Amino acid sequence: MANHKSALKRIRSTEKKRVLNRYQHKTTRNAIKKLRAMTDKKEATALYTEVVSMIDKIAKKNIIHNNKAANLKSKLQKFVNTL
């Protein structure tokens, strides 16, 4: 176990960040799944903008890699266009 106050604080702050990152990543993944399950183009287009925003936010915070974010957005855009 850590002996310094700063190390104990680092453990607490790391755990907080880990939980928040997991929540944001899981929420984004669920939104992507919801978008891929849609059949109506109008609804899918509306949800697409929200999902892209979520993807950009987690990429900005380095929860996912920038290239992965770009690939996800590209694939989702192709999916929405085929509806």
Q: Domain map of the chain by residue range?
A: 40-83
The segments of the chain whose pLDDT lies below 50 read none
The per-residue pLDDT for 43 is 95
The DSSP call for residue 64 is S
Contacts of 61 (CB under 8 A, 6+ apart): 21, 24
CA-to-CA distance for 82 and 18, rounded, in angstroms?
Answer: 36
Provide the whole-model pTM.
0.88
pLDDT tens readout for residues 16-34: 999 999 999 999 999 999 9
